[in-house]
Amino acid sequence: MRELTGRTVAVTGAAGGLGAALCRAFGAAGARVVAFDRQQADIDALLADLSARGVATIGTACDVTDEAQCVAAIQFARQHFGGIDVLVNNAGITHRSALSATRTEVIRRVMTVNFFGALHCTHAALPDLIQRRGQVIAISSVAGFAPLIARTGYSASKHALHGFFDSLRSEVEPLGVGVLLVCPSFIQTGIDRNALGGDGLPARHAQSIVGQRSMPDEIAAKIVHAARRDQRLLLPDRVSRTAWWVSRLAPALYARLMAEKLRREMGSADA
Ligand code: NAD
């Protein structure tokens, strides 16, 4: 079991739906929380809420696509709290568009936030994580291990996280650093509102989902529990667990059912 009391936990995309819930959950577990997100005003509102809950917290604006900002943000955490014990790579965006109707820069943008953002922050925090025998958490998705129709870029970015963090684990686990991949299905957050369309503008169609959307606080509590237990993989809901097994045991069936279900709901514009 990993101790969280008094440890420093840094969360990217901290002002979003799951990010804020993670800050609350790690704070409630006794951790000191460092919040990173793009807009200082969003960080300030989050810090006020966390402070009111008695959480020791600081935060700074950090666009994870900018490596220099990530290095500076990790240094900011180091200066205030002495170093990072747990890094949660949570910042992420999606798109909703079939590839034939998607500009390549939309895919590049999604990869840059979801994959390269995690690379920048993890690389900057790695000396602390090794020195403190810490932990790195990547918020992936069901789309990180299985296909997702009309999300080629999103799925590619999340699959990339698996290759990256599963490989990193083999380098750092012998040094005492834990690596946890989290693969939720659908959570009630702002991700749908913030999704890009194939033209790079906000997506015009609502996301269709399989099963129920989980609440962010419920998923965040499961992530804290898995972090404490030093798990390598967390499938936090029923759809993610079912998707894991069906996609492994019957991949063609999985792809067909997923595409049929989502295509029916999305209509031809998306799929
Ligand atoms: P959200 O849109 O509510 O929050 C995402 C946060 O990331 C926002 O605060 C946003 O400002 C921040 N962000 C975006 N680009 C950034 C950048 N360049 N630099 C720094 N911060 C940036 O969405 P969410 O659902 O809370 O997303 C959190 C994570 O959960 C994402 O990685 C997402 O892929 C993953 N996820 C979400 C769902 C879901 O259904 N909501 C399912 C599986 C996985």
pLDDT of residue 150: 94
Measured in Å, how far apart are the chain's first and last C-alpha atoms?
A: 44
Of the residues 26, 36, 115, 154, only one is catalytic, namely 154
CATH value at residue 197: 3.40.50.720
Closest residue CA from atom 12 of ligand 1? 13
In a domain, 3, yes or no: no
CB of 24 within 8 A of CB of 16? Answer: no
pLDDT of residue 197: 96
pLDDT at residue 269 greater than cutoff 70: no
Summarised one tens digit per residue, pLDDT across range 237-257 is 999 999 999 999 999 999 999
Summarised one tens digit per residue, pLDDT across range 1-28 is 999 999 999 999 999 999 999 999 999 9
Summarised one tens digit per residue, pLDDT across range 209-244 is 777 899 999 999 999 999 999 999 999 999 999 999
User: Model's pTM, two decimal places?
Assistant: 0.97
Ligand 1 center from residue 92 Cα (angstroms): 4
214 phi and psi angles, rounded to 5 deg? -80, 160
Ligand 1 center from residue 3 Cα (angstroms): 26
Question: Residue 189: CB within 6 Å of ligand 1?
Answer: yes
pLDDT (mean) for 142-146: 98
How many whole angstroms separate alpha carbon 213 and alpha carbon 169?
A: 30
Question: Residue 165: CB within 6 Å of ligand 1?
Answer: no
pLDDT of residue 207: 65
Domain interval for residue 212:
8-270
In a domain, 59, yes or no: yes
Q: Select from 36, 63, 154, 187 the residue to mutate for testing ligand 1; criterion: most ligand atoms less than 8 Å from CB.
A: 187
Length of the chain: 271
Ligand 1 center from residue 93 Cα (angstroms): 5
Question: Residue 21: CB within 6 Å of ligand 1?
Answer: no
Domain count, the chain: 1
pLDDT of residue 268: 41
In a domain, 2, yes or no: no
pLDDT (mean) for 112-131: 98
In a domain, 1, yes or no: no
How many whole angstroms separate alpha carbon 194 and alpha carbon 207?
A: 11
Between the alpha carbon of residue 234 and those of residues 4, 77, 79, 163, the distances in Å are 18, 27, 31, 16
Q: Which residues contact 48 (CB under 8 A, 6 or more apart)?
A: none
The rounded percent of the chain whose pLDDT value lies above 90 is 92
In a domain, 122, yes or no: yes
